[in-house]
Amino acid sequence: METWIDWARIPVGEKWNVASGREVARMMQNGVVRAVAFSPDGKWVVSWSGDDTLRVWEAASGQEIARMKQDGAVNSVAFSPDGKWLVSGSGDATARIWDAASGQEVARITHAGAVRSVAFSPDGKQAVSGSEDGTDRMWIWQPDDMITEACRRLPRNLSQAEWAQFIAAFVPYHLTCPNLPAGN
């Protein structure tokens, strides 16, 4: 079994095999790299540099897999437990969820201040974001999970306006709670 190490003394983006001292992969970015994380299975690495770009890399080769543009400095990144999703927290006061393979943004929550820390719940159904505004927000980010939670908490179905606001404007509206009355 090989052992890997990254030390602060090793230039950014270099990965070394401790036993041989051999570099395994190099991931080059434009600017200082300020946030990095491994996927749970170790296949991918996500990094953010001063050019406001998140990049997903194949860890073994250093090949870029996906690229995401973030407004403002990214302070924290994390993979979901299944490695399919990323959450980023930024100086633009947002936490965003991205499809790790395609780079497509799939959800966003806004704070009143810069988001400094982000994480996924162990089951990946919720994300949490901590901000300079003094709040930690735990949020359900997948539309199907939001619908299930809404049906559990509400006395009626969502209205079309509520659907667009709380679920997603791009998901077609429909009554989702068969045992509840229609929304206004």
User: Residue 124: what pLDDT?
Assistant: 94
User: Residue 3: what pLDDT?
Assistant: 42
The list of the chain residues with pLDDT below 70 reads: 1-21, 23-24, 184
User: Residue 171: what pLDDT?
Assistant: 79
User: Residue 168: what pLDDT?
Assistant: 72
Q: What is the rounded distance in angstroms from the CA atom of residue 16 to the CA atom of residue 140?
A: 38
* Exposed/middle/buried for residue 122 (C-beta within 10 Å: 0-12, 13-18, 19+): exposed
Assign domain 30-141 one CATH number from 2.70.98.60, 2.130.10.10, 3.90.1150.10, 1.10.630.10.
2.130.10.10
pTM recorded for the entire structure: 0.73
User: Residue 1: what pLDDT?
Assistant: 41
- Domain residue ranges of the chain, discontinuous segments joined by +: 30-141, 142-184
Sign of the CA dihedral with 9 first, then 11, 14, and 19 last = negative
